[in-house]
Amino acid sequence: MIIKPKIRGFICTNAHPLGCAANVKQQISYVQAQGELHNAPKNVLVIGCSTGYGLASRITAAFAGGANTLGVCFEKPPSDRKTATAGWYNTAAFHQEAHAAGLYAQTLNGDAFGKEMKQQVIDTLKAEMGKVDLVIYSLASPRRTDPETGEIYKSTLKPVGQAYKTKTYDTDKNLVHEIALEPANDDEIEQTIKVMGGEDWELWLNALADADLLADGCKTTAYTYVGKELTWPIYGQATIGRAKEDLDRAAAAIVKTKADKKVQAYVSSLKALVTQASSAIPVMPLYISLIYKVMKEEGTHQGCIEQIYDLFNEKLTQAQPVTDELGRLYMNDKETNDKTQAKITSLWDQVTQDNFHQLSDYAGYHHEFLKLFGFDIQGVDYEADVEPLVEW
């Protein structure tokens, strides 16, 4: 079939297999050009491995560190009439490149929140890989089923405490407008923490420890975004922010309960980027379009792969990595420093429907959005007839 992007709101409902493969190869080429990581982990588990920061983590571990990688994701396979999800094609391409390079790579597809998947990972590690020395937790999901009770929790993107009015950009309508968000109630806050907080991260580390699959000195990190004043009402001071605070609690709990293995657990604070998750969050398309403009002009812009390579190189491969005052691995200072934020705030105050495309880098935002799904990538023939049935 000839595959063109089908965009519905903040999501693309199809993906291009050759474009996804090209995207994966570009990221591999980037980390290989940076040079080999020293003291790199050799057995890496990536929970949420198929897109965004999780995929970049797997690529960096394998192709800059030579690691064996086991990935967990939840992706839809292709059919004769429909394409797979982008993560499916990304994973297929990663497998092909890893095996060609002589690297062990295995991926398990299913619900990472469930007991069954945790057991599948344990069985696979015991049979094929052994103890892990790095666990990346990079899940992004709007809902989670409690593995003990079966209760389904749903996350909510709302401020906490009081209503919030601000600007946003509707990518579907090409419209800059004001948005009003009502505050979350207690139940919505708690459900968001259940989905996006640290409980499942802890359960993964507990399961691996109980199965004696954590190497001595194993490191683990969960990814977060903190932001600054412009995004705090929908991030730091919102339901998402409460969930992210729970990641800090979980990191401390993991360190305490896994002291016998000298496990190091960190929350890694990364920069705002176009991802499938961030595209769904009010305010973020406008904010990211503006920071792309400012940071590209400053020469400080980074995508997923650049951020993650630096995280590995500067933090995760160090015996005692430098942290911020909250104990986090802080990687987004190029975005959140006062000088850069002042420029972004100035643009934010000026931006209207009439000048949005002049003041922002929405073209860059949209390119990165399409790239997530394998579209708008140089060198890919999008007029060609493509086979959507790609297996791992």
pLDDT of 317 reads 96
pLDDT at 173: 84
Tally of CB atoms within 10 A around 343: 16
pLDDT at 384 exceeding the cut of 80: yes
Whole-number Å distance between alpha carbons of 177 and 175: 6
Three-class DSSP category at 108: strand
Would 1 be classed as within a structural domain?
Answer: no
Please report the DSSP string for 160-216 in residue order.
SSS-EEEEEEETTTTEEEEEEEPPP-HHHHHHHHHHHSSHHHHHHHHHHHHTT-EEE
Tell me, what's the pLDDT at 170?
87
Q: Give pLDDT, residue 355.
A: 96
Quote the tokens at residue 3. Answer: 């595959």
**Segments forming the whole domain that contains residue 89:** 7-372
Predicted local confidence at residue 278, as pLDDT: 78
What is the chain's mean pLDDT, rounded? 94
195, part of any domain: yes
- Flag whether 388 is in a domain: no
Whether residue 385 is contained in a domain is answered as no
Measured CA to CA, the distance from residue 34 to residue 218 in angstroms comes to 24
Higher pLDDT, 11 or 146: 146
Domain count, the chain: 1
Residues 281-316: tens digit of each pLDDT: 878 899 999 999 999 999 999 999 999 999 999 999
Q: Could you give the angle at the alpha carbon of 305 between the alpha carbons of 201 and 285, nearest 5°?
A: 80
**Closest Cα to residue 301, out of 345, 327, 275, 335?**
335
Q: Are strands 132-137 and 7-8 parallel, antiparallel or unpaired?
A: unpaired
| Calpha distance 40→250 (Å, rounded) | 24
For residue 364, with 0-12 CB atoms within 10 Å meaning exposed, 13-18 middle and 19 or more buried, which class applies? middle
Residue 147, pLDDT > 90, answer: yes
Q: Which residues pair with 349 in a beta bridge?
A: none
Amino acid at 269: S
81 vs 308, more confident:
308
99 located within any domain? yes
Instruction: Name the nearest CA neighbour of 152 among 111, 117, 207.
Output: 111
Active site residues: 235
- Whole-number Å distance between alpha carbons of 174 and 221: 37
Could you tell me the pLDDT band of residue 184, with boundaries at 50, 70 and 90? very high
Is residue 378, in this structure, part of any structural domain at all?
Answer: no
**Tokens 């499942």, located at residue:** 200
How many Å is the Cα radius of gyration of the chain? 20
- pLDDT one-digit tens code per residue, 50-66: 999 999 999 999 999 99
Q: Which pLDDT score, from 0 to 100, does residue 326 have?
A: 87
88 has pLDDT over 90: yes
**234 vs 307 pLDDT, higher one:** 307
| Number of Cβ atoms within 10 Å of the Cβ of 165 | 10
In-domain check, residue 381: no
Is 295 a member of any domain?
yes
Tokens in use for 261? 């293995």
Confidence of residue 233 (pLDDT cuts 50, 70, 90): confident
| The pLDDT of residue 9 is above 90 | no
Which band of pLDDT confidence, cut at 50, 70 and 90, is reported for residue 209? very high
CATH at 310: 3.40.50.720
For tokens 């987004």, the residue is 332
Indicate the pairing of strand 132-137 with strand 105-109.
unpaired
Looking at residue 269, its pLDDT comes to 93
Structure tokens at 65: 């560190």
